[in-house]
């Protein structure tokens, strides 16, 4: 059912119901927020521990980043199906660590392939301007901040945001739909680009929520992170028909009103 819905969404487009996804996410936080917030806190502790390690942290992140990320969706998905969940359900992403690690590497390669040329051009402009021989920070700033460099940085930021938005559903496709990593990346891009404007608005809201969580002395991030990732799960489930077999996903928004 879900794969057919995916193809229909790619072929015919879909309605992206941003308000509905966030409403369902807020309701899920009210209903099952203890596990979600605790899981966010555990993910934070893991990231801190891995971050202080030397070069090995880069290797560790390959194997833990996506499994931890999809944990929010897996925990909520299990709860919707059974109305029961255990804290261990949020770590079931590690059941898919192999393909998710490959997916993480592919994401890194795509980012490098697209963004590195811009860094090379900027570095080349620095060398050509003679800044490589100067040690005066004022000269560096004055010569680097030019209309050309600003335009290049702007393009890099736009490309970075586009990649973040377009590729973000690939881990879900690997875990829930058993897609191979390359196919998951292609499908994620096709799905997101079918309604890119709405997807960008959704991501803008997530940035605002993260910012709101950050200004509350970091504690708010442990609530903000589950809100946006659970909302994204609901968006993915709706667009792909992940939960078409049951009505729980539609009933959730009504139960706590």
Q: DSSP letter string over 94-114?
A: GGGHHHHHHHHHHHHHHHHHH
Domain count, the chain: 1
Residue 4's pLDDT is what? Answer: 86
Q: Is 7 a domain residue?
A: no
Residue 40's pLDDT is what? Answer: 94
Q: Is 12 a domain residue?
A: no
Per-residue confidence at 212, pLDDT binned at 50, 70, 90? confident
**Six-digit token pair at 129?**
């301007």
Q: Is 187 a domain residue?
A: yes
pTM: 0.84
253 or 155: which carries more pLDDT confidence? 155
Residue 123's pLDDT is what? Answer: 63
Q: Is 8 a domain residue?
A: no
**Six-digit token pair at 131?**
């800044």
Are the CB atoms for 77 and 2 separated by under 8 Å? no
The range of the structural domain enclosing residue 76 comes to 17-249
Q: Mind listing the pLDDT tens digit for each residue in 85-132?
A: 789 999 999 999 999 999 999 999 998 887 776 666 666 655 555 555
Q: Is 142 helix (H, G, I), strand (E, B) or coil?
A: helix
Flag whether pLDDT at 174 surpasses 50.
Answer: yes
Q: Mind listing the pLDDT tens digit for each residue in 49-88?
A: 998 887 788 899 999 999 999 999 999 999 999 888 789 9
What contacts 24+ positions apart, CB below 8 Å, involve 107-113?
Answer: 107/163, 107/167, 107/170, 107/185, 110/163, 110/167, 110/185, 111/160, 111/163
Per-residue confidence at 145, pLDDT binned at 50, 70, 90? low
CA nearest 255: which of 30, 11, 14, 62?
30
Flag whether pLDDT at 217 surpasses 80.
Answer: no
CA nearest 43: which of 224, 222, 228, 230?
222
Taking residue 157's Cβ as centre, other Cβ atoms within 10 Å add up to: 11
Q: Is 11 a domain residue?
A: no
Q: Is 255 a domain residue?
A: no
Residue 130's pLDDT is what? Answer: 54
Q: Is 2 a domain residue?
A: no
Q: Is 243 a domain residue?
A: yes
């Amino acid at each position: 059912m879900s794969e057919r819905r995916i193809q229909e969404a790619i072929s015919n487009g879909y309605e992206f119901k941003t308000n509905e996804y966030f409403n369902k996410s807020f309701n899920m936080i009210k209903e099952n927020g203890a596990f979600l917030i605790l899981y966010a806190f555990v993910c934070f502790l893991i990231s801190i521990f891995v971050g202080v390690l030397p070069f090995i942290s880069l290797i560790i992140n390959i194997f833990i980043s996506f499994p931890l990320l999809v944990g929010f969706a897996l925990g909520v998905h299990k709860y919707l199906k059974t109305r029961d969940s255990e804290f261990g359900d949020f770590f079931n992403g590690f059941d898919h660590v192999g393909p998710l690690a490959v997916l993480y590497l592919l994401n890194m390669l795509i980012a490098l392939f697209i963004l590195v040329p811009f860094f090379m051009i900027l570095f080349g402009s620095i060398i050509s301007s003679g800044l490589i021989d100067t040690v005066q920070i004022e000269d560096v700033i004055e010569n680097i901040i030019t209309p050309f460099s600003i335009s290049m940085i702007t393009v890099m930021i736009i490309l970075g945001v586009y990649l973040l938005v377009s590729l973000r559903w690939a881990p879900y496709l690997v875990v829930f739909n058993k897609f191979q990593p390359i196919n998951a990346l292609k499908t994620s891009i096709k799905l997101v680009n079918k309604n890119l404007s709405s997807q960008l608005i959704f991501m803008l809201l997530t940035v605002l929520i993260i910012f709101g969580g950050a200004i509350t002395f970091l504690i708010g991030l442990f609530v903000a992170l589950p809100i946006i990732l659970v909302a994204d799960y609901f968006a993915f489930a709706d667009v792909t028909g992940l939960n078409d077999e049951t009505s729980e996903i539609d009933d959730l928004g009504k139960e706590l009103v």
